[in-house]
Amino acid sequence: MRAEMDTIKIHDKTFRPYISYGELSAAIDRTAEKINADYKGTKEPVIFICVLNGAMMFMSEMMKRLNFECELVSIKMTSYSGTETTGDVKVPMGLTGSVKGRRVIVFEDIVDSGYTMVALKKLLEEQGASDVRICTMLLKPAALRTDIKLDYVAMEIPNAFIVGFGLDYDELGRNYKDIYVIEQ
């Protein structure tokens, strides 16, 4: 009964609790420690790329933990419709700042097929970034269809559709603090 009471409804679908904020937060702590160690003593401010809209919560959690000089640039990318990737990556809003000659770290909510990260890495290299690393909160290894290099992965999950902590189902569900998985 209890599990049923904890489920949430978004549009036409039901989701159940999956990853708590506590678990996410611990995984984010560990990832931030690694990045802080790798960028220790960095002379020039590093540019953080926030991939809107999904990554905004993860980006803010990471910014609270990363302790070297940084600037923030955003970009909006979309590839999902409903609960599936379309494979067609769109950029409804381009980079909000220049990355020319700069070291950047991309912050993404989740990597599924990997097409979004392949497109973004290419775009950043074309715009002259001197070094591009990718940090994703979540990865669905079974869904990967590209050989994109992911430098930092906070958590791996099975191939299931999830919402919460920035992730949406047709724009709803981003404001849940925990992550929920779809009920089949």
Closest CB to ligand IMP among residues 86, 130: 86
Q: Which residue is nearest to Mg ion (CB)?
A: 54
Q: How many residues does the chain have?
A: 184
Closest CB to ligand IMP among residues 79, 127: 79
Q: Binding to ligand IMP by residue 161, rule CB under 6 A?
A: yes
| Binding-site partner at residue 66 among Mg ion, ligand IMP, none, CB < 5 to 8 Å by type | none
Amino acid, res. 96: T
Applying CB under 6 A, which part among 13-21, 42-50, 103-111, 124-132 lies near ligand IMP? 103-111
- Annotated active-site positions, please? 112
Q: Binding to ligand IMP by residue 54, rule CB under 6 A?
A: yes
Token pair 């959690």 is found at: 61
Among 109, 132, 154, 176, binds ligand IMP (CB under 6 A): 109
Structure tokens at 126: 């074309």
Scanning residues 74 to 93, which ones bind ligand IMP (CB under 6 A)? 79-80, 85
Closest CB to Mg ion among residues 39, 73: 73
Residue-by-residue DSSP string for the chain? -HHHHH-EEETTEEEEEEE-HHHHHHHHHHHHHHHHHHTTT--SPEEEEEEETTTHHHHHHHHHH--S-EEEEEEEEEEEETTEEEEEEEEEE--SS--TT-EEEEEEEEESSSHHHHHHHHHHHHTT-SEEEEEEEEE-GGG--S----SEEEEE--S--EEBTTB-BTTB-TT-SSEEEE--
| Binding-site partner at residue 176 among Mg ion, ligand IMP, none, CB < 5 to 8 Å by type | none
Total residues interacting with ligand IMP, rule: CB under 6 A: 18
Closest CB to ligand IMP among residues 74, 113: 113
- Tell me the C-alpha distance between 167 and 161, whole Å: 10
| Binding-site partner at residue 61 among Mg ion, ligand IMP, none, CB < 5 to 8 Å by type | none
Q: Which residues bind ligand IMP (CB under 6 A)?
A: 54, 79-80, 85, 108-116, 161-163, 167-168
